[in-house]
Amino acid sequence: MRLYINLDHVATVREARKTDEPDPVRAAVLAELGGAQAITVHLREDRRHINERDVLLLLKTVRTGVNLELAVEEEVLEFALEHRPVQATLVPERREEITTEGGLDLGEAKRQRRVADAVGRLRQAGIRTSLFIDPVEPTIRVAKELGAEAIELHTGEYANAARDAREGQLVRLRRAASLGREIGLAVHAGHGLTYENVTPVAAIPEIEELNIGHSVVSRAIFVGMERAVREMLELVQAARGRLGG
């Protein structure tokens, strides 16, 4: 199991004042010291937090790897193809949303063609490519048909579920993870995971990577980035330890 730390919201604090601190590049050094196995950032079309300078410096300085989240849009795709992060995660993007609200829509043939084209170009450039999708069977099967190597299961509905609905959401994630693995996809997960809700998701044996941002950056404000990441890593490893894997 790999723990990837999303540092978008370090840049959100910086952009609140349009200044040069806090710097996500510095945060990345500390996140790696805390045990992050890669750094994830989302280069949004409106550049509301992470910008090109951040990604370019992260690509030069991060020792583990950079997972770049991006929309299926020509401008950011070309940026990714030129600068080649280890991994690219294709995500939906709407300007009015506060955060990525749902998984990629792979319903219409036209969208499928656009996603397949992006996946093909990214893979050709040697970039491991993942699709951020809702944990539903048809979408998982389409992701495979479009050529993705990996899927990232959207855990937002699980994270937002009322206590009595949580088990149902977990069952959904477990089924999705097992289908993904069965048809030959690497299975990742993320969105809305916190120190309180991460354990049952981390315990799903088919999930090999978690992407966690907001909760870790929030905790880092109080305890520091290195410790916040280490504490999350300990929870994730403990969940796997219980499975003996």
**Residues within the interface to ligand PXP (CB under 6 A):** 6, 8, 42, 69, 89, 91, 99-100, 132, 152, 190-193, 211-215
137 is catalytic: no
Of the two residues 42 and 219, which places its CB atom closer to ligand PXP in the complex?
A: 42
Distance of alpha carbon 104 from alpha carbon 154, whole angstroms: 10
What is the gyration radius of the CA atoms in the chain, in angstroms?
17
Distance of alpha carbon 126 from alpha carbon 57, whole angstroms: 20
Of the two residues 51 and 109, which places its CB atom closer to ligand PXP in the complex?
A: 51
Is the link from the previous residue into 135 a cis peptide, with omega within 30 of 0?
Answer: no
Grouping H, G, I as helix, E, B as strand and the rest as coil, residue 145 is helix
Q: Min. distance of Cβ 244 from ligand PXP in angstroms?
A: 27
Q: Min. distance of Cβ 52 from ligand PXP in angstroms?
A: 17
Q: Min. distance of Cβ 69 from ligand PXP in angstroms?
A: 5
Q: Min. distance of Cβ 42 from ligand PXP in angstroms?
A: 5
Residue 94 neighbours by CB distance under 10 Å = 10
Of the two residues 197 and 206, which places its CB atom closer to ligand PXP in the complex?
A: 197
Angle at 187 between CA 108 and CA 192, to 5 degrees: 85
Of the two residues 71 and 244, which places its CB atom closer to ligand PXP in the complex?
A: 71
208 is catalytic: no
DSSP 163: G
The residue type of 219 is: R
Of the two residues 91 and 204, which places its CB atom closer to ligand PXP in the complex?
A: 91
Q: Min. distance of Cβ 174 from ligand PXP in angstroms?
A: 19
Name the active-site residue from 9, 42, 49, 188. Answer: 42
Name the active-site residue from 9, 32, 49, 69. Answer: 69
Tell me the residue ranges of DSSP E strands in 43-156: 66-70, 87-90, 128-133, 150-154
DSSP 13: H
**Residue whose beta carbon is closest to ligand PXP:** 213
Residues 6+ apart with CB under 8 A from 175: 135, 137
49 is catalytic: no
CA-to-CA dists, residue 128 to 36, 41, 150, 186, angstroms? 18, 15, 8, 10
Name the active-site residue from 191, 206, 209, 226. Answer: 191
The set of catalytic residues is 42, 69, 191
